[in-house]
Amino acid sequence: MQPHLRALQSVWMGEWCQLFFNIFTANRASLRFTVMHQAYHRAQMTVLMREANLPLHKGI
């Protein structure tokens, strides 16, 4: 293997790769929580609007 490829491989398999994976995993979990939480509140609002006989957005 050529020296520059060996150096590149050591970077990708080293600390930088682990740091990138940790950040990606944390961001993925945060995004999932945010989307699920929004869906929960949307469902809450839908129930409350139906109980109050308010028109629901027809949407897609």
- The reported pLDDT for the residue numbered 47 is 93
3-state class (DSSP) for residue 7:
helix
Copy the structure tokens of residue 24.
């990606």
Tens digit of each residue's pLDDT (9 = 90 or more) over 11-55: 666 776 777 777 777 778 888 888 999 999 999 999 999 999 988
Copy the structure tokens of residue 51.
């109980």
3-state class (DSSP) for residue 16:
helix
- The reported pLDDT for the residue numbered 51 is 94
Domain boundaries, the chain: 8-51
Rg over alpha carbons for the chain, rounded to the nearest Å, is: 23
pTM of structure: 0.51
- The reported pLDDT for the residue numbered 27 is 79
Residue 60 pLDDT > 60: no
Distance CA 44, CA 26 (A): 27
| Through-space distance between the first and last CA atoms of the chain, rounded to whole angstroms | 54
